[in-house]
């Protein structure tokens, strides 16, 4: 057997990839394997280079890697909890991806035909993914299906344009709707599974807005699965470290797959937050190799999961997830990954990622590479920057984006609206961040960024729009000054509110309140955009005497009723009023149980509307699932002194805040 040697990058192939990405916005193939990766793997097998060749034997001998594999499906509907065809779909997804890899290694058309047969059959047949765990179902097996499709599409497999379009339609219309709002109600491995599959669909379908949504969520998402919410501190502790070690390894593996896709698109997600992903892998590997690690009990973002000590369940049972991260940080980035390396060596050669289609596996074959000293992306024009976010902060706008591989500096541009002309406001920014101090309060701005190196300048990043602070007339107040301070950010037509407090009970008001002056006969209507984070969240709208606690007012609120069923609360909408300052709140009208399509498996997964209307002698409170059919919840005599209209948000817990988004706010 031969030892690992330095691989040569085919410069013309790399240049072709970049030229293609300029026209199509993405590098193809560009999910877990690039064109260069596939060539490296093929060469390693042909030359029997270790450990690639041993990894290849692991793949080749797997029963789902055979071109005579008997397809288990397809089915029109699959589901998880209750289970409907989950094992059938996952087995076929494994076979599709593994046959696609075998095709690129062997050039045996029979493998390509098997992979195409599976993808085509499911794309033409599957109509729905169901069950309480549908998001997880759609985030696991379909990831392998999309990866198989990406490889087939860009490796001359004779896959017809009609079938490719069919696959695109299937991924966007059947898979994507299930994962489009992620899974902020669950443990983080759900969120990160949805994330990586969304990124994969976006690349395959050349959908830049979808890709940007996933990239931004990876960094700043409200749920447990975003990078900072899953790997919760610098030590590398994970949100599920206190649950069990199997799910913890799964969660970080999903995040690693996201980072690998981004890397193929010329973006360095691996490096953000001071290599936070590596810290999570090092912490988890160290503990599962039998060593002690620090542990800090921490409530998760849902408010449901608090583990007082690190879990011993599954300890020492290393999953096939370490080669990808070891090879990136040690061989690509020239960094130390002591425990990740030990874990990779202990598992090597990595087998299939089981159970089902939980993760890819086969990392010894797929990711083994020799050390690199120069990023090959420095030899070509930079890829398009991604993940641009603009956040108002202390009278300025703070911009951040994902670092672009091979970039020397960035140019930052600004316009006054999406159709306006962009002007350069900083011509040479060396880090992937910029603070724009030249902004006017309440004014909207749109930003973009381009990357520059010695080979040229990239196309502009997907624009980010922001308002410098809140729109004129709007303010944020915490109704209980003792509560943790909340905040609000302006969207183009609404707000994102980070709220705190236990809510409205009897004589108490603990909530974040974003408010505006109210004049007679005005109406306030809001649309809730799913999903929220704390599963104890309450939100709604209010007409009040003032922002002071316990003033007169009318409130229309949605919240989960107290229940012994932590995972299955009943969500209701109710109207309350305080008729005299200092009085207890009084319910007005009946409590309405919220039903489908707003509620799915006891979760607020659908959007809905709330509206308060001032009429001549009364205030009417309405609820609507669609903004068309309105249901009267309560009526209050209009003899109160009401001078403010606003939005109420509370987390329902002391330990955590909640994030709620309202994409439509109408005060008119």
Q: What is the pLDDT of residue 15?
A: 29
* Distance, CA of 599 to CA of 561 (rounded, Å): 14
658 neighbors 650 (Cβ within 8 angstroms): yes
Query: Both tokens of residue 238?
Result: 């994970």
Question: How do beta strands 396-402 and 631-637 pair?
Answer: unpaired
- What DSSP string describes 574-600? EEEEE-STTPPPEEEEEEEE--TTTEE
Does the pTM surpass 0.85? The reply is yes
Q: What is the pLDDT of residue 352?
A: 97
DSSP 288: H
Residue 137 phi/psi, 5-degree rounding, is: -60, -45
- Res. 639: pLDDT tops 80: no
Classify 107 in phi/psi space as left (phi over 0), alpha (psi -120 to 50) or beta: left
Q: What is the pLDDT of residue 12?
A: 27
More confident residue, 523 or 372: 523
- Structural domain spans, the chain: 1-53+208-380, 62-179, 383-467, 475-667
Q: What is the pLDDT of residue 9?
A: 27
585 neighbors 576 (Cβ within 8 angstroms): yes
Who's near 325: CB < 8 A, 6+ residues apart? 256, 277, 278, 281, 337, 340
Per-residue pLDDT reduced to its tens digit, 377-428: 888 999 999 999 999 988 999 999 999 999 999 999 999 988 889 999 999 9
569 neighbors 560 (Cβ within 8 angstroms): yes
Cα 329 from chain centre: 23
Per-residue pLDDT reduced to its tens digit, 119-135: 999 999 999 999 999 99
Who's near 450: CB < 8 A, 6+ residues apart? 385, 410, 411, 413, 457, 458, 459, 460, 461
* Distance, CA of 250 to CA of 230 (rounded, Å): 11
* Distance, CA of 364 to CA of 320 (rounded, Å): 9
* Distance, CA of 389 to CA of 391 (rounded, Å): 7
Who's near 411: CB < 8 A, 6+ residues apart? 424, 426, 427, 428, 429, 449, 450, 452, 457
CA distances from 388 to 70, 446, 461, 629, 636 (A): 45, 11, 7, 38, 46
Mean pLDDT, residues 160-182 taken together: 98
Who's near 531: CB < 8 A, 6+ residues apart? 181, 182, 184, 185, 223, 603, 604, 605
Which CATH code, of 2.60.40.10, 2.30.29.30, 3.40.190.10, 3.40.50.300, is assigned to 383-467? 2.60.40.10
Establish how many alpha carbons lie within 13 A of residue 635's alpha carbon, considering only the half-sphere containing its beta carbon: 7
Quick one: pLDDT band at residue 563, thresholds 50, 70, 90?
confident
Per-residue pLDDT reduced to its tens digit, 238-253: 999 999 999 999 999 9
Query: Both tokens of residue 429?
Result: 């920014």
Query: Angle at Cα 623 formed by Cα 622 and Cα 629, nearest 5°?
Result: 95
660 neighbors 538 (Cβ within 8 angstroms): no
Per-residue pLDDT reduced to its tens digit, 579-609: 888 888 999 999 999 999 999 999 999 999 9
Per-residue pLDDT reduced to its tens digit, 266-321: 999 999 999 999 999 999 999 999 999 999 999 999 999 999 999 999 999 999 99
For residue 660, give the H/E element and its range: strand 658-667
CA distances from 267 to 6, 406, 561 (A): 23, 9, 44
Number of H helices, E strands in the chain: 16, 28
- Res. 3: pLDDT tops 60: no
* Distance, CA of 374 to CA of 407 (rounded, Å): 12
CA distances from 19 to 230, 395, 449 (A): 36, 40, 19
Q: What is the pLDDT of residue 597?
A: 94
87 neighbors 73 (Cβ within 8 angstroms): no
Q: What is the pLDDT of residue 17?
A: 32
Provide the 10 A C-beta neighbour count for residue 408. Answer: 13
The CATH number of the domain covering residues in 475-667: 2.60.120.200
525 neighbors 609 (Cβ within 8 angstroms): yes
- Res. 612: pLDDT tops 80: yes
Mean pLDDT, residues 657-661 taken together: 95
* Distance, CA of 524 to CA of 553 (rounded, Å): 14
259 neighbors 269 (Cβ within 8 angstroms): yes
The C-alpha R_g of the chain, in whole angstroms, comes to 26
Who's near 85: CB < 8 A, 6+ residues apart? 73, 75, 77, 78, 79
For residue 350, give the H/E element and its range: none
CA distances from 168 to 21, 112, 140, 204 (A): 18, 18, 18, 7
More confident residue, 175 or 1: 175
- Res. 20: pLDDT tops 90: no
Map residue 609 onto helix, strand or coil.
strand
Cα 315 from chain centre: 27
- Res. 19: pLDDT tops 50: no
Who's near 373: CB < 8 A, 6+ residues apart? 334
- Res. 24: pLDDT tops 70: no
- Res. 550: pLDDT tops 90: no
456 preceded by cis ω (within 30°)? no
Q: What is the pLDDT of residue 13?
A: 30
Who's near 651: CB < 8 A, 6+ residues apart? 303, 499, 500, 501, 534, 536, 537, 657, 658
Q: What is the pLDDT of residue 16?
A: 29
* Distance, CA of 328 to CA of 503 (rounded, Å): 46
From the list 523, 583, 581, the residue with the least C-alpha distance to 556 is 523
Q: What is the pLDDT of residue 388?
A: 97
Per-residue pLDDT reduced to its tens digit, 337-367: 999 999 999 999 999 999 999 999 999 999 9
The rounded percent of the chain whose pLDDT value lies above 90 is 85
DSSP 442: T
Q: Report H helices in 241-396.
A: 245-264, 272-288, 323-326, 338-347, 363-367
CA distances from 244 to 202, 249, 260, 303, 464 (A): 31, 9, 25, 18, 38
Query: Both tokens of residue 544?
Result: 């009040």
- Res. 22: pLDDT tops 50: no
Who's near 657: CB < 8 A, 6+ residues apart? 484, 486, 498, 499, 500, 533, 534, 651
- Res. 14: pLDDT tops 70: no
* Distance, CA of 435 to CA of 607 (rounded, Å): 34
Quick one: pLDDT band at residue 493, thresholds 50, 70, 90?
confident
Mean pLDDT, residues 653-657 taken together: 89
* Distance, CA of 202 to CA of 205 (rounded, Å): 5
408 neighbors 454 (Cβ within 8 angstroms): yes
- Res. 7: pLDDT tops 80: no
Establish how many alpha carbons lie within 13 A of residue 266's alpha carbon, considering only the half-sphere containing its beta carbon: 30
Q: What is the pLDDT of residue 376?
A: 83
Mean pLDDT, residues 419-439 taken together: 95
Cα 643 from chain centre: 39
């Amino acid at each position: 057997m031969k030892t690992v040697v330095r691989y040569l990058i085919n410069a013309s192939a790399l240049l072709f990839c970049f030229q293609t990405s300029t026209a199509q916005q993405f590098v193809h193939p560009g999910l877990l394997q690039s064109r260069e990766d596939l060539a490296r793997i093929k060469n390693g097998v042909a030359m029997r280079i270790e450990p690639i060749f041993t990894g290849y034997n692991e793949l080749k001998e797997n029963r789902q890697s055979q071109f005579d594999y008997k397809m288990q499906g397809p089915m029109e509907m699959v589901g998880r909890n209750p289970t409907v065809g989950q094992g059938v779909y996952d087995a076929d997804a494994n076979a599709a991806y593994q046959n696609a890899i075998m095709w690129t290694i062997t050039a045996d058309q029979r493998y390509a035909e098997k992979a195409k047969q599976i993808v085509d059959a499911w794309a033409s047949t599957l109509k729905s993914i169901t069950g309480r765990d549908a998001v997880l179902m759609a985030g696991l097996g379909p990831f392998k299906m999309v990866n198989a499709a990406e490889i087939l599409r860009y490796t001359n497999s004779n896959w017809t344009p009609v079938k490719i379009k069919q696959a695109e339609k299937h991924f966007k219309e059947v898979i994507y709707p299930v994962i489009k709002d992620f899974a902020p109600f669950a443990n983080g491995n759900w969120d990160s599974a949805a994330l990586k599959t969304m990124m994969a669909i976006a690349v395959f379908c050349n959908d830049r807005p979808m890709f940007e949504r996933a990239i931004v969520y990876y960094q700043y998402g409200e749920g447990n699965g975003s990078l900072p919410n899953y790997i919760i501190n610098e030590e590398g502790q994970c949100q599920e470290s206190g649950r069990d070690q199997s799910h913890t390894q799964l969660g970080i593996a999903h995040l690693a797959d996201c980072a690998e896709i981004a890397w193929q698109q010329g973006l360095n997600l691996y490096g953000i937050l001071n290599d936070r992903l590596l810290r999570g892998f090092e912490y988890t590997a160290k503990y599962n190799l039998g060593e002690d690690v620090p542990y800090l009990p921490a409530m998760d973002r849902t408010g449901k999961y608090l583990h007082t000590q690190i879990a011993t369940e599954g300890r020492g049972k290393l999953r096939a997830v370490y080669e990808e991260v070891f090879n990136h940080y040690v061989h690509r980035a020239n960094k130390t990954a002591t425990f990740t390396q030990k874990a990779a060596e202990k598992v090597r050669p990595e087998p299939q990622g089981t159970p089902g289609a939980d993760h890819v596996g086969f990392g010894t074959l797929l990711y083994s590479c020799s050390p690199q000293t120069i990023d090959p992306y420095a030899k070509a024009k930079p890829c398009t920057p991604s993940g641009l976010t603009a956040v108002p902060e202390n009278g300025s706008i703070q911009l951040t984006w994902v670092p672009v591989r091979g970039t020397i500096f960035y140019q930052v541009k600004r316009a006054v609206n999406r159709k306006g002309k962009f002007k350069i406001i900083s011509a040479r920014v060396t880090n992937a961040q910029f603070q724009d101090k030249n902004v006017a309060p309440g004014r909207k701005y749109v930003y973009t960024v381009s990357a520059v190196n010695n080979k040229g300048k990239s196309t502009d990043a997907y624009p980010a729009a922001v308002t410098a602070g809140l729109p004129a007339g709007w303010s944020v107040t915490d109704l209980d000054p003792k509560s943790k301070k909340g905040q609000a950010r302006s969207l183009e037509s609404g707000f994102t509110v980070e709220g705190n407090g236990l809510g409205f009970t009897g004589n108490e008001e603990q909530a974040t309140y974003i408010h505006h002056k109210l004049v007679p006969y005005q109406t306030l209507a809001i649309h809730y955009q799913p999903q929220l984070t704390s599963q104890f969240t309450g939100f709604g709208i209010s007409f009040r005497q003032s922002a002071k606690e316990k003033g007169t007012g009318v409130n229309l609120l949605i919240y989960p009723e107290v229940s012994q069923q932590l995972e299955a609360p009943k969500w209701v909408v109710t109207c309350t009023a305080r008729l005299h300052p200092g009085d207890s709140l009084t319910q007005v009208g009946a409590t309405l149980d919220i039903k489908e399509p707003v509620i799915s498996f006891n979760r607020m997964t659908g959007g809905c509307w709330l509206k308060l209307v001032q009429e001549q002698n009364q205030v009417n409170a309405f609820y609507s699932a669609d903004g068309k059919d309105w249901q009267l919840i309560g009526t209050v005599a209009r003899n109160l002194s009401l001078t403010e209209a606003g939005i109420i948000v509370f987390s329902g817990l002391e330990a955590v805040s909640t994030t709620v988004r309202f994409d439509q706010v109408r005060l008119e």
